[in-house]
Amino acid sequence: MGKYAAGTYVAVSKTESEIKELLRRRGATRTAFAEEAGRAVVFFELRDRRVQFTMPLPRADEKRFTQDRRGNRRTTAAATSAREQACRERWRALLLTIKAKFVSIESEVETFEESFLAHLVVPGGKTVGQHALPAVAEAYRTGTMPPLLPAGEGPSRG
């Protein structure tokens, strides 16, 4: 199975600019991009909400970059080139993800909050996903699940 944007030549800086322009066109009042070893973070504020995407980036020491398919050691230049390609692909996938969320919102498939829920930043600086995902994993681990439907008066017999 192929990866999205496999073989793309679009520079990371160009994709970052495209994301920033997409967010600006959709009304984002603030944007920020940060990168450190192993991850990139995109922040924006829109509709009185702060949104954060934290995207893992491939590490230069990963075997898929340092060795070819036969297991032979790659040159430093070849390893760097392979990693840069993986980063370009990852950034293109993030752009597509954000675009798709806006398509979903504009098509009224879901609301802004529903679409970006896991990425909404709450007081304390964590995202909803960072808070909720461990609780969901624990619920599945223990088998203690909340009811699918909230408690109520039952079906209407109208």
pLDDT category of residue 148 using cuts at 50, 70 and 90: low
The SS3 assignment for 119 reads helix
Within 13 Å, how many C-alpha atoms sit on residue 32's CB side? Answer: 10
Name the more confident of 158 and 68.
68
> Whole-model pTM?
0.84
Per domain, the residue ranges of the chain are 12-110
* pLDDT tens by residue, 42-57: 999 999 999 999 999 9
**In the predicted model, what is the mean pLDDT of the chain?**
90
**DSSP per position, 20-43:** HHHHHHTT-SEEEEEEETTEEEEE
Q: What is the tens place of the pLDDT at every residue in 130-143?
A: 988 988 888 888 88
How does pLDDT run across 78-87, given as a tens digit for each residue? Answer: 999 999 999 9
Does residue 156 register a pLDDT over 60? no
